[in-house]
């Protein structure tokens, strides 16, 4: 099987690492994702990863916690680095070469993000994990994922979720919801489909970067997707 994409950016939520624990990091989930990623790396696909931090810290209401938004966002960025280190460890345990790059300097655990260095790592078939969001508060990891994908010249953003694509409504709440195989950026905006936050989505649209939303928890889905099978929903 030949891949149809040369370079992908895989976006994972922090919550996807929780598993059955309800919080923190479930090694079973990381191991599962590492195997999925290895299956496409073995095909020669260059892989970059952006992972959220919601399993460790989610921004809370300032009036309830006393923590201002910017301060809380920096806490969230640090959580993404913890998740990045966890997935890095599991990928390397399975024999892959990785580099963790962060938008906030912490040289003892990761390289600082430099665009040209990140591209060079990918060219050397190293999996690049981007931590620390954009390095700025008020931006989500969706925006970080879109920004990094554009910067490294990724062919596509692949967003792993717990549902198998984009639906007319939330399929977990509305059993009559129907799935889209393909949808345009404009339709997503007109129908107010919450795929990413608007900053991230607009960045993809302006740079003509396709987005695929798929079920990351279904074994073999990632490999099927990069080899051209109709998996999930394509936004273009």
Question: Cβ(159)–Cβ(11) under 8 Å?
Answer: yes
Q: What integer pLDDT is reported at residue 53 of this predicted model?
A: 93
* Region class of 133: left (phi > 0), else alpha (psi between -120 and 50), else beta: left
- Kindly report whether the global pTM for this prediction surpasses the value 0.85: yes
Tell me the per-residue pLDDT of 27-72, one tens digit each, with 9 for 90 and over: 999 999 999 999 999 999 999 999 999 999 876 667 777 888 899 9
pLDDT of 202 above 80? yes
Q: What integer pLDDT is reported at residue 210 of this predicted model?
A: 97
Q: Return the closest-CA partner of residue 128 out of 7, 17, 3, 26.
A: 7
Q: Return the closest-CA partner of residue 51 out of 22, 82, 20, 73.
A: 82
Q: Return the closest-CA partner of residue 130 out of 2, 138, 117, 36.
A: 117
Q: What integer pLDDT is reported at residue 59 of this predicted model?
A: 66
Question: Cβ(121)–Cβ(128) under 8 Å?
Answer: yes
What phi and psi, each to the nearest 5 degrees, are found at residue 130?
-100, 120
- For 16, 29, 84, 159, 211, the CA distances from 234, given in Å and listed in that order, are 21, 25, 26, 10, 6
DSSP for 57-126, written as a single string: -----HHHH---HHHHHHHHHHHHHHHHHHHHHHHHHTT--EEEEESS--TTTSEEP-HHHHHHHHHTT-
Q: Return the closest-CA partner of residue 143 out of 199, 87, 88.
A: 199
pLDDT of 21 above 80? no
Tell me the per-residue pLDDT of 147-190, one tens digit each, with 9 for 90 and over: 999 999 999 999 999 889 999 888 888 888 899 999 999 999 88
Question: Cβ(53)–Cβ(79) under 8 Å?
Answer: yes
Distance in angstroms (rounded) separating the CA atoms of residues 229 and 236: 16
Q: What integer pLDDT is reported at residue 170 of this predicted model?
A: 82
Q: What integer pLDDT is reported at residue 173 of this predicted model?
A: 84
Rounded to an integer, the average pLDDT of 97-125 is 97
Three-class SS of residue 34? helix
7-235 has which fold?
Carbamate kinase (3.40.1160)
pLDDT of 208 above 70? yes
Q: What integer pLDDT is reported at residue 172 of this predicted model?
A: 80
Q: Percent of the chain beyond pLDDT 70?
A: 98
Distance in angstroms (rounded) separating the CA atoms of residues 10 and 149: 9
Domain boundaries defined on the chain: 7-235
Q: What integer pLDDT is reported at residue 194 of this predicted model?
A: 82
- For 54, 92, 115, the CA distances from 79, given in Å and listed in that order, are 8, 20, 22
Distance in angstroms (rounded) separating the CA atoms of residues 117 and 122: 9
Rounded to an integer, the average pLDDT of 114-129 is 98
């Amino acid at each position: 099987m030949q891949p149809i994409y040369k370079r992908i950016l895989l976006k994972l939520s922090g919550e996807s690492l929780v598993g059955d624990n309800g919080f923190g990091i479930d090694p079973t989930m990381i191991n599962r994702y590492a195997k999925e990623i290895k299956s496409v790396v073995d095909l020669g696909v260059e892989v970059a990863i952006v992972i959220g931090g919601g399993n460790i810290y989610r921004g809370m209401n300032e009036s309830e916690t006393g923590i201002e938004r910017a301060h809380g966002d920096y806490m969230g960025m640090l959580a993404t680095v913890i998740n990045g280190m966890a997935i890095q460890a599991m990928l390397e345990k399975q024999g892959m070469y990785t580099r963790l790059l962060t938008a906030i300097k912490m040289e003892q655990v990761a390289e600082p993000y430099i665009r040209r260095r990140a591209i060079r790592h990918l060219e050397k078939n190293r999996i690049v994990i981007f931590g620390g969001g954009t390095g700025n508060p008020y931006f989500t990891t969706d925006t970080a994922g879109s920004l990094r994908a554009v910067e490294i010249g990724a062919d596509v953003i692949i967003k792993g979720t717990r549902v198998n694509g984009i639906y007319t409504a939330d399929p977990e709440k509305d059993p009559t919801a129907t799935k889209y195989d393909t949808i345009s950026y404009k339709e997503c905006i007109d129908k107010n489909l919450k795929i990413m936050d608007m900053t991230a989505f607009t960045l993809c649209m302006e740079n003509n970067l396709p987005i695929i939303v798929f079920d990351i928890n279904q074994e073999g889905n990632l490999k099927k997707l990069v080899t051209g099978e109709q998996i999930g929903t394509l936004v273009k």
